Structure 1
């Protein structure tokens, strides 16, 4: 069985609907996957670099699960990347991550329509992903197609919107599980 590592970069999963639901669904479907919730592990932002690197070394497939924050990673996940993906470990002549598969799995608060050359942001969502393509290339990671869901926002939440967001997050988790199955056909998923 392929070893799957999921890094959750949400800054506060206790207040999350989308990312928390996605992680819950993945935990049910993939009980053997390692899920590292950075906000729970490092509330003081002191990353245990050795532990994080050991988890990465064991993984065959790495999933970065996060809410798209200011068109990039949330702060805790950017800190994790800065401290863990150092020269000699993640890249350079002695890099150790080469060949592992990387999946970006994320949610956005804004609806999909805003991410286009004609939309409010003036760029497609794919344009914002170039930074991750460059990171994967530098680290010799095999970047897979991203799994993302737009329109999961904290704004104006009521019971109906929360129910809708949970449904969207479960659909997102199903797409992520399908991708993981295609990469690891030997997985015997619980769902």
Structure 2
């Protein structure tokens, strides 16, 4: 498999995650050669070491952004990581070619079920609309946008219900397997 960087954007993965924690544990177990970047462990104070992060990105062939959707976007820590690291002259602009040709795969979850993300539904828009900022970022930075793996209905609100927990756990394991399958395809 090509050099894979998986960036975890959850702001409190060990203390407050259900779905992303399971997905990342599976990915770590099944992708021992991948590089994992747990932003909440590295930068609990939101002070991003740009030099370190750029080296990780430069070494990668495939970049996976793993995160929960918080308020219809990426978590604040992942946004801060992107704002600090992806700057004109490095990631984009006439001299910013560091990411050109690298593949970008999104892997994200929502607490609300997938069937709520439909035009005119409770969430008003399809889940794809939440990927447009990433597609534009990929375009600007010369990344090859490879789509997304998405699982909905993995809400912390369901944690007290043992039956729902089993269903959510199975969905998270399936999600991780889908990411692995996609990474194998992208490595060809």
TM-score, normalised with respect to structure 1: 0.94
Deviations 1:63-93 (A, max 9, x none): 0000011111100000000000111111111
Q: Secondary structure at the match of 2:156?
A: coil
Q: Counterpart in 1 of 2:167?
A: 164
- Distance in 2 (CA, whole Å) between partners of 1:178 and 1:153 is 25
- Distance in 2 (CA, whole Å) between partners of 1:104 and 1:44 is 24
Q: Does the CA contact (< 8 Å) of 1:17 and 1:162 recur in 2? A: no
- Distance in 2 (CA, whole Å) between partners of 1:88 and 1:152 is 39
Trace 1:29-178 onto structure 2 (pairs within 5 A). 29-95=30-96, 96-158=98-160, 159-178=162-181
**Does 164-173 or 118-127 show the bigger shift?**
118-127
Q: Secondary structure at the match of 2:64?
A: strand
Q: Secondary structure at the match of 2:158?
A: coil
- Distance in 1 (CA, whole Å) between partners of 2:2 and 2:167 is 33
Deviations 1:2-44 (A, max 9, x none): 1000000001111211101111111111101000100011111
Aligned positions, number: 185
Q: Counterpart in 2 of 1:24?
A: 25
Which segments of structure 1 move beyond 3 Å, counting only runs of 4 or more?
none
- Distance in 2 (CA, whole Å) between partners of 1:43 and 1:128 is 25
- Aligned-residue CA RMSD (Å): 1.0
- Distance in 1 (CA, whole Å) between partners of 2:6 and 2:138 is 16
Gaps of 5+ in 2: none
* 1:6 lines up with 2:9 in the alignment: no
Gaps of 5+ in 1: 186-191
Q: Does the CA contact (< 8 Å) of 2:158 and 2:165 recur in 1? A: no
